[in-house]
């Protein structure tokens, strides 16, 4: 699986959009971008995934650049409950690949 | 749906003791996983099961064994606990091995 690079930490004001970047410059054509988050002391939670088109669900939007070398997870109206570690993972769904979690981005939502 | 449940939530063992961590899912998922998470680190895969009756090693399988006799259950065994196995253990499941995973709340294990 391709490696990802994320900032160690970020701050965002409550009510504003939180934009979390992820670099995956070595991603291959059959690899998807997945995002998970982990709120303190809880199990990770799946957020969203995409291949090349932008995706949106009830939790977030995922914007993938045209060359697919980077992506941004957008939480449109961040709340204090969105404070968590966010993991960006690239993974092929053509093989039985395991998820490799890196260290993620620690997002702090400020009141 | 309860989703993925894990028992126990907390456990303290002495070095050399054995125990089994239990994981159950009610989503009829085919694949199940065991991870461990040490302080300040990401999750590391211990073992996974792509389907009932099959298991495979992950990144850090040494000192553990697993059992997937029923589709809804995935058991993680520690044969002889060591302090290095002090960690938080998460179980996860997915509809198939290539899909998004859903995690349980974790088991906090301390080995003294």
Q: What is the pLDDT of residues A28-38, one digit of tens each?
A: 888 899 999 99
**Rounded to whole angstroms, how far apart are CA atoms A49 and A35?**
6
Mean pLDDT of chain A: 91
Stretch B12-34: mean pLDDT: 96
Say yes or no for a CB contact (<8 Å) between B105 and A42. Answer: yes
| pLDDT for the residue B92 | 95
Q: From the list B42, B48, B100, which residue is nearest A34 (CB)?
A: B100
**Rounded to whole angstroms, how far apart are CA atoms B46 and B69?**
18
Say yes or no for a CB contact (<8 Å) between A103 and B42. Answer: yes
Nearest chain A residue to B47, by CA: A98
Nearest chain B residue to A104, by CA: B42
What pLDDT digit, counting tens, does each position of B53-104 carry?
999 999 899 999 999 999 999 999 999 999 999 999 999 999 987 788 999 9
3-state secondary structure of B47: strand
Other CB atoms within 10 A of residue A77 CB: 10
Q: From the list A46, A92, A97, which residue is nearest B100 (CB)?
A: A46
Nearest to B21 by CA among B65, B54, B82, B69: B65
Q: Percent of chain A, pLDDT > 70?
A: 93
Token pair, residue A99, equals 């998820």
Cβ contacts of B43 on chain A, cutoff 8 Å: 44, 99, 101
Say yes or no for a CB contact (<8 Å) between A96 and B92. Answer: no
């Amino acid at each position: 699986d391709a490696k990802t690079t994320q900032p160690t930490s970020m701050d965002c004001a409550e009510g504003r959009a939180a934009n979390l970047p992820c670099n995956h410059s070595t991603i291959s054509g059959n690899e998807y971008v997945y995002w998970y988050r982990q709120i303190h002391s809880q199990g990770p939670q799946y957020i969203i995934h995409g291949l090349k088109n932008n995706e949106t669900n009830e939790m977030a939007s995922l914007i993938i650049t045209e060359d697919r070398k980077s992506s941004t997870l957008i939480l449109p109206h961040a709340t204090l409950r969105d404070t968590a570690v966010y993991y960006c993972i690239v993974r092929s769904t053509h093989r039985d690949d395991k998820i490799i979690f890196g260290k993620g981005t620690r997002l702090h939502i400020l009141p | 749906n309860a989703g993925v449940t894990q028992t126990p939530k907390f456990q303290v063992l002495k070095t050399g003791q054995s125990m089994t961590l239990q994981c159950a899912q009610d989503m009829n998922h085919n694949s199940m996983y065991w991870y461990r998470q040490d302080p300040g680190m990401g999750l590391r895969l211990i073992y996974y099961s792509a389907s009932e009756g099959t298991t495979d090693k992950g990144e850090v399988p040494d000192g553990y064994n697993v059992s997937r006799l029923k589709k809804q259950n995935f058991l993680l065994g520690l044969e002889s606990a060591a302090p290095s196995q002090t960690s938080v253990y998460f179980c996860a499941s997915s509809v198939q091995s290539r899909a998004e995973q859903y995690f349980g709340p974790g088991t906090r294990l301390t080995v003294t």
